[in-house]
Amino acid sequence: MSNKGKLFFVRGLEQDYLRSWNDNRFTNALYVSDTDGTQVKKLFSLPDKTLGRIAISPDHAHIAIEAFQYGVESSDAKPSDLYLYDLVNR
């Protein structure tokens, strides 16, 4: 798949684990779509973590993904984890 003309986005927030989705089309995951919002495809998810910020490498070959997990209390929050998603060899 060529990454030219594609949008990469994350859908999912801490609150998604505390209530059911009204929109069952999306889950807490990294997605790709055409620039007009069509051809949406789920690429990556972590069921026990909330995906946060993403950054695409300058060569468009990888995406760095921040993932975190909230505790019951705000003081229970754990440090973020980073994952590298390979867009070329998947």
Model pLDDT for residues 39-70, shown as the tens digit of each residue: 888 898 887 778 888 999 998 899 999 988 76
Asked if residue 1 has pLDDT above 70, the reply is no
DSSP state of 2: -
Is residue 70 assigned to a domain? yes
Is residue 53 assigned to a domain? yes
Is residue 1 assigned to a domain? no
DSSP state of 90: -
Say what the pLDDT of residue 83 is. 92
Q: Which residue has the higher pLDDT, 72 or 43?
A: 43
Asked if residue 16 has pLDDT above 70, the reply is no
Which residues share a beta bridge with 41? 32
Q: Tell whether pTM > 0.85.
A: no
Is residue 34 assigned to a domain? yes
Number of structural domains (the chain) is: 1
**44: nearest Cα among 10, 76, 20:** 10
Q: Which domain holds residue 41?
A: 6-86
Say what the pLDDT of residue 65 is. 92
Three-state DSSP class for 24? coil
Is residue 59 assigned to a domain? yes
Is residue 51 assigned to a domain? yes
Is residue 16 assigned to a domain? yes
Q: Is the separation of the CB atoms in 43 and 30 below 8 Å?
A: yes
Sheet arrangement for strand 81-86: 50-56, 62-68, 81-86
